[in-house]
Chain A
Amino acid sequence: MSRLGDTGRWGVGLALGVGLCGYLIAFQGGFSDWLTFTILGITTGAIYAIAASGLVVTYTTSGIFNFAQGAFGMLGAFAYWQLRYDWGWPAPIALAAILLVVAPLFGALVERVIMRGLEGVSEITSTVVTIGLLAMAIGIANIVWPPAGRRVDQFFAGESVTVGAINVTWHRIVIVVVAVAVAVGLRFLLYRTRSGVAMRAVVDDRSLSQLNGGNPGRSAMLSWGLGASLAALSGILIAPLLQLSVLPLTLLIVNAYAAAMFGRLKSLPLTFAGGLVIGIAENYSANYLDLNTTEVAGVSLAGLQPAIPVILLFLILIALPSERLRTGGVQRVRESARVPTMRSALLAGGALVVVTIAASRVMSTANVTRLSLGLATAVIILSLVPLVGYGGQISLAAMTFAGLGAFAMVKVADGPGPLVGLLAAAALAAVVGAVIALPALRLAGIYLALATAAFAVFMEKFIFTQSWFFGAGSIQVPRPEVLGLTFDDDRSYLVLLSVLFALLGTGVVWLRRGPFGRRLSAMKDSPAACATLGLDLTRTKVGVFAFSAGIAGIGGALFGGVSGSVSSETFLFAQSLPILLMGVVGGIALVSGALLGGLLLQFFSTVGENFTLLASALFVGPLITNFALVAPGLIGILLSRNPDGLAADLVTAVARAGRWVREGRSRPEQDTGPDPLDTATFERPLTPAERAAVDRALGLDPQELARGSA
């Protein structure tokens, strides 16, 4: 394949497709079945294509991959329901209101208020901000439209035309017509109008676009408005075919991701082709293959059907021609993190254990469990510190590796015992992490994030649902034993968790301070520079993936030990999103950030669970039950103002306070005028400020100097 040109690839693909269709028509039920399934496939595919094209428009024009695109579509569909069915507006007016006014305004507002603040941050932060937006959107939808049997009718419901021997509803014809119109319209806008060219120019070089007189802010708002409108359109079109409920509509976008990747996030025609391929593949596999009852060597294939779009996504990602390592200027990003010394890491670890011991003595049983869950979550988030924080690789599969860890713990603890089980948890997750890293090696940034998302969804749908994995319902997870010490008591388990977090956290800091950590940091800053220095990027990447997955595996085993049981629902892909979100909110390059993130995440869900009664009395019930989503989302969105995370602020504040105390409470200097160190010269006597600055720079103690001169 690799030696074929693009035309060759298309030829092969087309020939395979025609061959497959011929086979299906000849041997699998004849022409009319085939036509039915193909039309179904094309129409769902067309909706994916519309959603994906919105994604491509916002990505190509703002450089931000909007994970919340599906959530925008979901909100659009609900808003349409509100106008059309709850308020009884006529369909054309409701449609125009949503697609031409509400959605574009919403998109433009999101750009103006949130995304514009993201200039100069790393791809990790911008990704996490859109994940925060996704969480917020789900929370808001649940608040405004609490679950109830809502439905949206098809357009021209009841009308249909006969094609060959089958009936095609007008709704499906509308979908295809709209998709074609969208494709042609977008092409025209982006390549034939100055506004479109300006939108593309902003991505290339924002400041040059300004120097040309273009207004990048306006272009970005336009593209986000357009993206939101396309999302709403796809949501409104698919709601009658699917169902009007929050999560399915939001996660539908994963299928659109695959379509967008098919077009390499650039080409709109390929994106549309990708949408069709995925829609058709989904429908053929659902109708021609009998996966639900098939078993191969004890492995049920029932989970394969819903995993087909993500399998395609993964295959498309690893088949993408690898981007050349970017040379030239090193990208400066706004994020920066201190590397703690081993001494302070050990001190902080010790402090954590002491505080936890004290807390375990005084807290109620319920709070001990909550704190334990928070610490176990913190261990899972800690797995992202070396990978995402130090190495700059985005992973959306932390919970998946945690699930593998829990599984290993369960299976191994029965035989060799729970301590070996904990090691097995780390080992299994690490091995799978290394294996999954291998095909993903060439990927970086958003592509890597999507590959890990595809892996996570695949595991969730196909592996975690197997009866031999987490059992039919749930499965018991034992707690580790150390040297004959058991931790059946919740309070002692809490202390064990704090000790393990402290150990793992110190280990992570130790790693960062060593040669491997320097390699990681170098890889994050400039892969190209690393390659020219002869640094083995493959080993570094595989190594950090394995290390991170291993920690996540331990975290998963410990997490399962808190409540004592896990199920296939514990380690969903959707759970990995708040993990990454809160990790970045806490401070992804800091061990303390992981701790803060884990505790905050647990705190938010505790608030959500416990204040429901009180809140319903105060008529803010839905807000509080959805607090676990809305709060992290809100904080995630605020990251655009503070990309280093909360823990970094705390560390800086502590350091500043320390300096303030040490320096005899002298006020911090104002940043007015030039730095005295720069103005100091030997051509004239030093001013007092310059003398002080020079003394400070040389590390001389002013008091000692005063004594010396006296």
Chain B
Amino acid sequence: MTFRRHAHPGDAADPPLEPDPLLELSGITAAYGRIQVLHGVDLVVPEGSVFALLGPNGAGKTTTLRVAAGLHEPSGGVVLLGGHKVNGARPEDLARRGLCTVPEGRGVFPNLTVRENLQMATFTGVPLERIETVAYDRFPRLGERRHQLTGTMSGGEQQMLAMARALATDPALLLLDELSMGLAPLVVEELYRIVAELAETGVSILVVEQFARTVLGVADRAAIMVNGRVTRVGAPADLEEELSAHYLGASE
């Protein structure tokens, strides 16, 4: 199974474009031990769109993402990726087939250098030279620090490195978890500019966020998740009002 989007140079026999939707979750239930956190999540990310999944703390957003990435096996429901059922597929197999996940709290290896972090991205099949070129062109600061341990870099730089992996490996689907967590507003804006850039090249993106303003600016569609269920799906503008009600109302 593959759903990689672009043909690589010399990779003539790439499959044609798959029909949308690219990612489809239907009736997903999931639990940590005896505590059930997802009670039937339905979600559709159409090909080439940016989809924002919003909701308060503990709504199950991250778990939904983990299910999509193959990190957490759902106890029920179906995960379709490019039309193929991928329940129980190993995360590394999904990653090698064009799924890129940037997990919550910086997707970098703190005890590896910048270059070694990028080297880890070569498991997707993209050669290191190309990854390095893309990453250092877009983020010159990473090029300057290629031999520095990433654990010693600032949060923003780490998040840039994580995004560089997404930029350079040319994924079909990008899953982003709480990109803005603990970062300065300026850095967050910069990161979302990259998300928009990526979206323009045709990457499908699922973004999970708690703070909605920035992400709603780049999203094509959005959904609100509360208590392990998707309660509302719609255009970002329509959801904006309801969202503030949720955040303010939920804390009552």
- Structural contact, B71 and A197, CB atoms closer than 8 A: no
> Quick check: is A211 within 8 A (CB to CB) of the other chain?
yes
Main secondary structure of the interface of B (DSSP, over half): mixed
Give the residues from 171 to 222 in chain A that come closer than 8 angstroms, CB to CB, to chain B. 191, 194, 197-198, 200-201, 203-205, 207-216
Instruction: Please give, as numbers and ranges, the residues of chain B lying within 8 Å of A214 by CB-CB distance.
Output: 92, 120, 123
Contact with A along B27-52 (1 / 0, CB 8 A): 00100001010010000000000000
- The verdict on B124 contacting chain A, using a C-beta distance below 8 Å, is yes
- In the assembled complex, the Cα of A242 lies from the Cα of B129 at a distance in Å of 50
Q: Kindly state whether residue B82 has any CB partner on chain A within 8 Å.
A: no
**Residue contact B120 to A201, C-beta cutoff 8 Å:** yes
- Given contacts A203-B111, A204-B109, A204-B111, are A209 and B36 in contact (CB under 8 A)? no
In whole angstroms, how far apart are the Cα atoms of A677 and B110 in the complex? 42
B36–A197 contact, CB under 8 A? no
Q: Which of A197, A213, A679 contacts B112 (CB 8 A)?
A: A197
- For chain B, the bracket of interface size reads 20 to 34
A212–B29 CA distance with the chains assembled, in angstroms: 25
Interface set, chain A 583-630, CB cutoff 8 A to B: none
Which residues in A have their C-beta under 8 angstroms from that of B101? 211
A213 engages B123 (CB within 8 Å):
yes
Which chain A residues border B202 with CB–CB below 8 Å?
none
Tell me which residues from 93 to 116 in chain B have a Cβ below 8 Å from any Cβ of chain A: 95-96, 100-101, 103, 107-112, 116
Task: Name the distance in Å between A652's Cβ and chain B's nearest Cβ.
Answer: 14
CB < 8 Å neighbour of A674 from B39, B90, B120: B39
Residues in B56-80 with C-beta less than 8 Å from chain A: 69-71
* A195 CB, nearest partner CB in chain B, Å: 11
Residue pair A212, B36 in contact (C-beta under 8 Å): no
Question: Which residue of A200, A209, A216, A675 is within 8 Å of B34 (Cβ)?
Answer: A675
B110 touches A194 (CB 8 A): no
18 contacts between A and B (CB under 8 A): A194-B119, A194-B123, A201-B116, A204-B109, A204-B111, A207-B71, A207-B91, A207-B103, A208-B107, A211-B100, A212-B95, A212-B120, A212-B124, A213-B123, A674-B39, A675-B34, A678-B36, A678-B39
Known contacts A191-B116, A210-B92, then 11 further A-B pairs from the complex at CB < 8 Å, ordered by chain A residue: A194-B119, A194-B120, A200-B109, A201-B109, A201-B120, A204-B109, A207-B91, A212-B120, A213-B95, A674-B39, A678-B39
| Chain A: minimal CB distance from B90 (Å) | 7
Q: Which residues of A have CB within 8 Å of B165?
A: 212
CB within 8 Å for A209 and B120 given contacts A201-B109, A203-B111: yes
CB distance from B204 to the nearest CB of A (A): 17
Given contacts A204-B109, A210-B95, A211-B71, contact A674 B116 (CB under 8 A): no
- A203 / chain B contacts, CB cutoff of 8 Å: 111
Known contacts A201-B109, A204-B111, A674-B36: does B119 contact A211 (CB below 8 Å)? no
Given contacts A213-B96, A214-B120, A675-B34, contact A208 B112 (CB under 8 A): no
Taking CB atoms, residues of chain B closer than 8 Å to A213 are 92, 95-96, 121, 123-124
Interface residue? B122 (CB, 8 A): yes
Min C-beta distance of A192 to chain B, whole Å: 10
Contact check, A211 vs B122: say whether CB atoms are below 8 A apart: no
Q: How far is the CA of A204 from the CA of B150 in the complex (A)?
A: 11
Q: In the complex, what residues of B have CB within 8 A of residue A323's CB?
A: none
Q: A211 and B103 in contact (CB under 8 A), knowing A194-B119, A675-B34, A678-B36?
A: yes
Tell me which of A205, A211, A678 contacts B69 (CB under 8 A): A211
B149 CB, nearest partner CB in chain A, Å: 10
Asked if A671 is at the interface of the complex by the 8 Å CB criterion, the answer is: yes
Are A200 and B112 in contact, with the CB atoms below 8 A? Answer: yes
B119 and A197 contacting across the interface, CB-CB below 8 Å? yes
Instruction: Tell me the chain A residues, 205-241 only, with Cβ under 8 Å from chain B.
Output: 205, 207-216
Contacts of A207 in B (CB 8 A): 71, 91, 103
Q: Which residues of B contact A200 (CB under 8 A)?
A: 109, 111-112, 116
Contact (Cβ within 8 A) A675 B36: yes
Q: Is the CB of A211 within 8 A of B110?
A: no
Inter-chain contact A212/B71, CB cutoff 8 Å? no
CB-based contact B111/A197 at 8 Å: no
CB-based contact B119/A204 at 8 Å: no
Q: Which residues of A contact B34 (CB under 8 A)?
A: 671, 675
